[in-house]
Structure 1
Amino acid sequence: MPESRRQLDDTLGVLLARRKSHGRLRRLSNAPPNSVDFSSNGYLSLSTNPVIQKSLVSRLESELANSENSNALRRRSILGSGGSRLLDGNSSFAESLEAKIASFHNAEAALLFTSAFDANTGLLSCVPQPGDVIIYDELIHASVHDGTRMSRATKRIPFSHDSISETHQWRCSNGEDGHVGHQNKSKSQGLDDVLKQLSGDEHVMSSKSNVFICIEGLYSMDGDVPLLKKIVETVDQYLPSGNGYIIVDEAHSVGVFGEKGNGLVCKFGLENRIWARVLGFGKAMGCAGGAILCSSITREYLINYARSLIYTTSMTFTSLSSIDVVYEYLISGHSEPLRQHLETLIGHTYLQLHALCARLHPGRRTLYIEKRPSKSPIIPIFTAHPRNLAEHCQRHGFMVRPIVAPTVPAGSERVRICLHSANTPDQIDGLCDAIGMWVQSQMATEKLQLSKQQHKQITYGADVVTKQDKPRL
């Protein structure tokens, strides 16, 4: 290897070693084949649903048979799309699927992207113009951060997650500490404060500058939802001219909330008050890809300016078919029993975890569970020892993942439980038993360490006294 390449490897190695020393080194890993899944984002277990699998295979076989009966010039590839949407990658199938998606979510139009990440970066990098402002939840997904960095917006301002969090409002109304576990206090201003400051901006108030407000429908690390109605009212209050445009990333909320799983925005009937919604199909929908729900003119603008759409190969027939099959399943109402069962499992999990805490009384650094039961399938278990707890659960056959900084803010580390409709109450009980075993072991270890520390302090104090009392010769 040339010396110059070795030098670069040395530099990268130092950076990796530094991250490892901070306990933040990421590694690829595979879940053991026999472990119980409490980690993946497939909340409705649709990717392993036999009905959906058979329907998809049937479509692919039908397409293959039609292709074999056609001449070589008329055959359609099921493996590759042939190029970007603007070249050879478009199809009537893709356009009809977009119409179906828009109709299901009560939107004017939809535009498919290869991922929700591409959808977010494409939307935010090209729509905000010079002079515009983007304000965003401090806990927003990385794709939104990347999109805002690539945008031409003049200002990018974060606001505190607590200011829009339904869970935080419940804590405050019940007299609880505003911050869970050992979480650090946010340094960002609240949404109200940021909008109030912007209302003093002449360009904003004269509508020469637009303000884009970015939030999520369900936060993947905390498992909480935003106060969506309040956010709409707040934006209307401070931006009465109508130049406040709310963008909701529904990657985790689609399939989980709303009628037949059409999302949080539809659940509250705010389709006409939200400027754009970003959908992700890799979570509850059980497949892959993403889409933007928007107006027809915005769709046309994105086709012309969104680089993550223009310069990437479009989705294959196989990918489009998997999305179509899942939407047919949701539209038919077949997913409703799965969603109801998931809600039952969520309630059972909170019941078991709260009983565990009431029985063992762990300190907040050891283990903390939100006291407010949620309808979210994402349940964070706050602890100062997330890797240790996750490894313990994995050894007992339960796949959970530690979530540490920088994925979450330092001081808010946790183990995340993701529930699925295919999980059972017995599996949840087994996971909670494993967590309880770890808590007891951790508390015993901490008690022993404290005892040794106190003994050392007493011994040190005795030594000091002895030296002071010793007479001089």
Structure 2
Amino acid sequence: MWKALEEKLAGKLAEREAQGNLRQLRFTGNLTDFCSNDYLGLARSENLKRLIQQESEKYWQLPIGATGSRLLSGNWPLMEELETEIARFHKAEAALLFNSGYSANVGLLSAVPQRGDTVFYDEASHASLKDGMRLSFAKSYSFRHNSLEDLRQKLQHASGQVFVVVESVYSMDGDQAPLVQLVELCQEFKAALVVDEAHAIGLYGPNGEGLVVELGMEKKVFARVLTYGKAMGCHGAAVVGPAVLRQFLVNYSRAFIYTTALPTHAVLALKGAYQLLPTLHQDREEVKQLSAYLFNQLNDIETISCTPQNSVILSVFVPDAQQLKPLALALQNQGYDIRPVMSPTVPKGSERLRLIVHSFNTQQEIDGLVGAIKRHT
């Protein structure tokens, strides 16, 4: 019955395979991790596991699953207590939990910008931000990555309420948005700044609150999206901002309204992770020192280039993108979990190896990785 449709889908897959970009699910095995977003090792933390177990015993009377959406049967005092703590920790008026960073970005940007409004977003923004804007009735336009000049020119022709959407730390390139200058520009044009902090929370700020707090910009940013599957080692996300934004999302965000709430275990894991974050000063310093060491070592190899400086997310570029997959495979065979990032995940011509440094990596592991890259490039 579905033969024609199946052939059409198979044809699209064959096209992608011919381009060398076919994605596959895989297991990492026991490779040394230079791939995951578990920057501080909380996803494997015994301390976090103990906290979750302790909290689970305290809240044993709660159901395992949420049982429904937050607006039906799935709201519990535990969730609202956590949201109050999240808002306090990140120096915001209010917070609202979502089931993932993807759903938080879609839920925020599909609901808040209205017909007649204008959204400008950095061209390097995550797919979830772009998907949220596609579902909005507002007009949306990209601006060149981290280009204040390009953004300024486009702001002059905006209409309605204007929004500017950026990531504080970009997930692919690892570089930071010029948040101080962006805040000044948004104030000049009365634009609302939205910052995705997915790759900044845990790593920046006095206690891991994120780059916005580290720069003292929390009162000048309209909304922040906090994703918990990276340095927090958990699952879910939150949008923080004014109290009226939280209430608006409860009423108008379809990604919040029409989905089952996070299960109890996920909420308790987040509660434990927030207890641990202020204690991880040494881990934050270690991961930054290791990243600087790896950056310097890689840039001593003449056959490759590495960017950016001062980031735990590093991109390794080789002269010919066709070398990336064989290089990644060779490194995996040597015991290192390294992945190539190909088009269309990144623009054609900017394919790279994406290396992630963690607080649990060692200098010995980094030396081994650098040596392997030297041998295979």
TM over 0.5: yes
Q: Counterpart amino acid of 1:129?
A: Q
Q: Kindly report which structure 2 residues correspond to 1:19-418, keeping only aligned pairs within 5 A, or say none.
A: 19-32=16-29, 34-64=30-60, 67=61, 76-77=62-63, 79-153=64-138, 155-163=139-147, 190-198=150-158, 204=159, 209-237=160-188, 239=189, 242=190, 244-330=191-277, 333-355=278-300, 357=301, 361-362=302-303, 367-370=304-307, 373-374=309-310, 376-383=311-318, 384=321, 385-418=323-356
Partner secondary structure for residue 87 of structure 1: coil
Residue 128 (structure 1) shift: 1.0
Distance 1:246 1:59 in 2: 36
Distance 1:394 1:225 in 2: 29
Q: Residue 11 of structure 2 aligns with which residue?
A: 14
User: Are the counterparts in 1 of residues 31 and 332 from structure 2 also a CA contact under 8 Å?
Assistant: yes
Q: After superposition, what is the alpha-carbon deviation per residue over 1:418-466, rounded to whole angstroms, capped at 9, x for unaligned?
A: 0111110000111111100011xxxxxxxxxxxxxxxxxxxxxxxxxxx
In the comparison of the two structures, how many residue pairs are matched? 374
Q: After superposition, what is the alpha-carbon deviation per residue over 1:362-381, rounded to whole angstroms, capped at 9, x for unaligned?
A: 2xxxx2113x621x210110
Partner secondary structure for residue 14 of structure 1: helix
Partner secondary structure for residue 195 of structure 2: strand
Partner secondary structure for residue 331 of structure 2: helix
Q: Counterpart amino acid of 2:375?
A: M
Partner secondary structure for residue 95 of structure 1: helix
Residue 353 (structure 1) shift: 1.0
Distance 2:205 2:39 in 1: 15
Q: After superposition, what is the alpha-carbon deviation per residue over 1:282-326, rounded to whole angstroms, capped at 9, x for unaligned?
A: 000000000000111111110001001100000111000000000
Q: After superposition, what is the alpha-carbon deviation per residue over 1:110-148, rounded to whole angstroms, capped at 9, x for unaligned?
A: 000001111111111111111000110111011111110
Residue 106 (structure 1) shift: 0.3
Partner secondary structure for residue 213 of structure 1: strand
Residue 352 (structure 1) shift: 1.4
Distance 2:236 2:44 in 1: 17
Residue 398 (structure 1) shift: 0.2
Q: Counterpart amino acid of 1:378?
A: I
* Stretches of 4+ aligned residues off by more than 4 angstroms: none
Residue 197 (structure 1) shift: 3.2
Q: Residue 176 of structure 1 aligns with which residue?
A: none
Q: Counterpart amino acid of 1:84?
A: S
Residue 235 (structure 1) shift: 2.2
Q: Counterpart amino acid of 2:258?
A: Y
Distance 2:85 2:292 in 1: 33
The structure in which a higher percent of residues are helix is 1
Q: After superposition, what is the alpha-carbon deviation per residue over 1:143-187, rounded to whole angstroms, capped at 9, x for unaligned?
A: 11111010010x2110010415xxxxxxxxxxxxxxxxxxxxxxx
Distance 2:154 2:176 in 1: 20
Larger Rg: 1
Q: Counterpart amino acid of 1:435?
A: I
Distance 1:267 1:229 in 2: 11
Distance 1:139 1:429 in 2: 31
Closer, same or farther: CA 401–114 of 1 in aligned 2, 3 Å: same
Distance 2:175 2:105 in 1: 20
Q: Counterpart amino acid of 1:341?
A: E
Partner secondary structure for residue 197 of structure 1: coil
Partner secondary structure for residue 161 of structure 1: coil
Residue 46 (structure 1) shift: 0.7
Distance 2:32 2:241 in 1: 38
Length-normalised TM-score, structure 1: 0.77
Gaps of 5+ in 2: none
Residue 61 (structure 1) shift: 3.3
Gaps of 5+ in 1: 68-75, 165-188, 199-203, 440-473
Q: Counterpart amino acid of 2:347?
A: P
Q: Counterpart amino acid of 1:404?
A: M
Residue 389 (structure 1) shift: 1.5
